[in-house]
Structure 1
Amino acid sequence: MGYDPNEESVPSYRLSLITLFIGSFVAVYHVVSLNVSLPGFIQIFHSELGTVQWLITGFTLATGIIAPISSYLGNRFSNKKLFLFSIFGLTVSSILCSFAWNVYVLIIFRIIQGIFCGLIQPVSLAMIYQTIPRGKQALAISLWSASTILGPALAPTISGWLQGYNWRWMFLVTVPLGIITYAMGTKYLPYYRVNITQRLDRRGMVLAITGSLILLSLFGNVHRWGWFSGNSIICLIIGLTAILLFIQHELKVKEPLLQLRLFKSRTFTASLAASVVLMIGLYSGIYFIPLYLQEIHGLSSYEVGVLLIPPALSLALATILSGKVYDRVGPMPLVAIGAILLAAASWKFSHLRVDTTLTYVAGWMSIRYIGIGLSMTPAMNAGMRVVSRNLSGHAAALINWLRQVSGALALGMFTSIFYSRMGVHLEELNLSAGQNGEKWVHSTAYTMSVDDAFLIAGLFALTAVPLALLLHQKGDDTSEEQTGTSA
């Protein structure tokens, strides 16, 4: 199996962590690198938004459907081999994306890229709890989380500039990091294998992939279809049925694809619920603030990226700070304070105006990100701490799977709220526009719709506070027995 990560003699754990940090950064970078660059690809390939949108939609679907089977693959082949394979695949697929000769080929390569990105996150998270000394895990997970934050922080700025220079470099820019990660991983990542004989739960895999694919498709299109349209209702019924059948099957099978009995742990369940709530709150800001800055203030994607670098750095620092103090104060106060800051900043963003200053936006975005940084890692770490090492792969897969689905749900939900409120505000403002003109009506209605979305996001963030009360007060696990294979 390997070695005991509780021993301080674990070789080169710092170099192992650096390897996981870089690999996670590269994966998350490609998750968000095209979020503010779609209009540019419409011009580059002389295509339509509905087609170019699949550069993100196809990628998201790929990352979502691969997450549930990451635990089986890691247990079967070892997480080290799976991590190296994923880094290699991500690097090659990035090179292929740079050679795409039309938008349809680029979509196919992006889907392939998404599969490898979807594996790297849960695998790297599981490796931290399998190979990093226990006393170092809180700080290690905060550094790992910081890598997942630097990606969204830097990707819009870098990709926005590279698209104007040569769009192919948007994909090639991470290739050197991929090569470095693969070389370091080969040398420094320790080998750990949980179960050599586990069989693939094929029925569970089909049900998980089917449910994920349909629900992710629903959440990605609900703002166009409408919640009560025939397409939405059919997708919701089929998707939820597949997930319910998956849950029923997993609780019965001897070797499940995902160990759902982990939810017997109150701490793990509360931790995962809080993580989902915080993820939904995070996505609302990542999505709407760049749109607001581009649409209302006329900033380019590059300028938006530059403006949001200080908030992103604040998030990274808060994430590292939470890891340093976790063992002293425990997860409860960190999650509660972070959720309150997130809700407060969301409330301030529900009062945006057409002439709101960029300083106001950057300042409250920093506070919002500090809240996320203080709470996201402790919420996740509290749950992972009560999971036995042999089940850390299952726990990591569950966390990343639900984060993918909740992220897609958040985008679908908030986009739907935005467009429905946009119609209402346009109708109201057109009646009282007077001499202000069509441009004023559109800008004002757009801003008011963003306000409405953030109001809902703020109220939703507050639900993480009572969930925080269910988490352990201390950084150790003495108050609750670890969830093991018999859970």
Structure 2
Amino acid sequence: MKHSFILTAIVIGSFISIYQSVSLNVSLPGFITIFQTDLATVQWLMTGFTLATGMIAPLCGYLGNRFGTCELFLFSITGLMISSILCASAWNIGSLIVFRIIQGVFCGVIQPVTLTVIYQMLPEHKHSMALGLWSASSVLGPALAPTISGWLQVWNWPLIFLVIIPFGLTALIFGWISLERKIDSSKVSFDGKGMIGILFSSLTLLVLFSNLHEWGILSGKSIVCLITGFIFLVHFIWRGIRVKEPLLELRLFTNKIFALSTAISVILISSLFTGIYFIPLYLLEIHQMTAAEVGILLLPPALSMAVATTVSSKYYEKVGPKLLILTGTLFLLIATWKFSQLTIESAPATVMLWMTFRYIGLGLSMNATINIGMNAVPTNLAGDAASLLNWARQITGAMSIGMFTSFFYTRIALYETEHTISSVAYVKGLNDVFIAATILTCLSIPFSLLLYRKKDIQKGKMIEADIQKSG
């Protein structure tokens, strides 16, 4: 019963955090009319949120060790509900942006803390099943959010944020009842210099890649941000491998399994974000579909990802992670390549079909990738591993959108000199984006082939003996 309560709490918590992360993906343009503003300002509803989630992620391991995983979970769920109420109460675009940034802080905490709970508070034989449910709940957010938010925006936009309140209360109650209140007092040292390094590097790099398409890669602002971010990042890495208790345990990368799984994970997350961001744009701009129509069209593909995640969890122990990852990558590669051949005449049903293929591939591979990496890490380092993994995923996801967006607009500018019809240039720019995404996805194949077989996974934990923690 206790384990069921824990699963209920973390699954619901994961769902509502991801829901709020993607709830504005297709409804973002609607706020231009609602608040009588422009697209550049409205985009900060996503940019500010992404910056907040990326900057808080490195702190999650320390906060969990300092205040307790249970306490951090309860606090973040409470904070998410309060910030959602504030978003619903926004009186202008400025206030909504501020409240979305606050909301991003709490959403950025919930994902790593729920992943930590799986590996710290559940028995090992339940990890695969729990991770499958956690992953399924994570993809239900992208599945349902566009449909729900697109409809709610037309009817009553504050409900986009208020709809998660009942779920938040449920997660809070189940978490309060079941989660263990245990603090590892041996891990409370705070690496302030490391915090400065990771915050400034994350901030400058996220700002750079969020504005790259506007500034240009060789502009003064881009070069300053790149140099500044690189200097702070090098400083952070230098401290991370030398101090006894770093903010992020970078020495986990000496574990080959964890390092490879993280590399595969960030590649997959880049591919995921490419589809989530650019396919709705294609449907909105080329086929002139409404936000609600796009949400409905993409609902079956996203639900297929939830099913594929469940299948991956069920057969993880039977077939091993390598086969699941390679099979999923194959599905993903085929579908991503097909999107590089989109035309103005491509039917929405065709888009739905290949999105289904993409999501099946991501569902099969993503769950197995996270599971093999986290299983290779000892329980006492699960919080550090979850923080490191989620930070890498958050930063990579945000930067990949920035890089692909910049590449997209660069290609559009090139094709507009050749075509008089702007929609043709738009689609050809999208084609090039998905060609680049296909090449990027191919990089996950050699990493997958280097993974240990299932029976060798436990050997990876021996590497962690070199990572010394105080106490």
For this structure pair, what is the TM-score category when the shorter chain's length is used for normalisation? Answer: over 0.9
Q: Which amino acid aligns with 2:437?
A: A
1:132 is displaced (CA, Å) by 1.3
1:478 is displaced (CA, Å) by 3.3
Percent identical pairs in the alignment equals: 51
2:246 to 256, 261, 266: 256
Alignment partners' CA distance in 2, 1:336 and 1:478? 21
Question: Secondary structure at 2:29's aligned position in 1?
Answer: helix
Alignment partners' CA distance in 1, 2:6 and 2:14? 12
Alignment map for 1:148-163 (pairs within 5 Å): 148-163=138-153
Alignment map for 1:37-436 (pairs within 5 Å): 37-196=27-186, 198-430=188-420
Unaligned ranges ≥5, structure 1: 1-10, 431-440
Q: Aligned residue for 1:465? A: 445
Alignment partners' CA distance in 1, 2:158 and 2:456? 47
Change (3 A) 1:445 1:353: same
Q: Which amino acid aligns with 2:435?
A: L
Alignment partners' CA distance in 2, 1:323 and 1:209? 35
Q: Which amino acid aligns with 2:457?
A: D
Question: Secondary structure at 2:356's aligned position in 1?
Answer: helix
1:477 to 425, 435, 457: 457
Change (3 A) 1:401 1:38: same
Alignment partners' CA distance in 2, 1:144 and 1:478? 23
Alignment map for 1:432-451 (pairs within 5 Å): 441-451=421-431
Alignment partners' CA distance in 1, 2:406 and 2:271? 15
Question: Residues 208 and 243 of structure 1 are in contact (CA less than 8 Å); yes or no, is this contact kept in structure 2?
Answer: yes
Q: Can you list the C-alpha shifts for 1:349-376, whole angstroms capped at 9, x where unaligned?
A: 1110111111111111100111100101
Q: Can you list the C-alpha shifts for 1:217-273, whole angstroms capped at 9, x where unaligned?
A: 111111111112111111111111111100101111111111111010111110000
Q: Which amino acid aligns with 2:281?
A: L
Question: Secondary structure at 1:478's aligned position in 2?
Answer: helix
Structure 1 residue 453 corresponds to structure 2 residue 443: no
Q: Which amino acid aligns with 1:374?
A: L
Q: Which amino acid aligns with 1:458?
A: T
Q: Can you list the C-alpha shifts for 1:83-125, whole angstroms capped at 9, x where unaligned?
A: 0000000001100111111111111111111110000001100
Alignment partners' CA distance in 2, 1:203 and 1:349? 44
The CA RMSD measured in Å over matched residues stands at 1.2
Structure 1 runs of 4+ with >4 Å offset = none
Q: Which amino acid aligns with 2:120?
A: Q
Question: Secondary structure at 2:460's aligned position in 1?
Answer: coil
Alignment partners' CA distance in 2, 1:184 and 1:86? 14
1:339 is displaced (CA, Å) by 1.2
What TM-score, normalized by structure 1, do the two folds share? 0.94
Question: Secondary structure at 2:289's aligned position in 1?
Answer: coil
Alignment partners' CA distance in 1, 2:300 and 2:455? 30
Q: Which amino acid aligns with 2:110?
A: I
What TM-score, normalized by structure 2, do the two folds share? 0.97
Q: Can you list the C-alpha shifts for 1:396-424, whole angstroms capped at 9, x where unaligned?
A: 00111011110011101111111111111
Question: Secondary structure at 1:137's aligned position in 2?
Answer: helix
Q: Can you list the C-alpha shifts for 1:149-177, whole angstroms capped at 9, x where unaligned?
A: 11011111111111101111111111111
Question: Residues 340 and 462 of structure 1 are in contact (CA less than 8 Å); yes or no, is this contact kept in structure 2?
Answer: no
Question: Secondary structure at 1:429's aligned position in 2?
Answer: coil
1:479 is displaced (CA, Å) by 3.6
Q: Which amino acid aligns with 1:474?
A: K
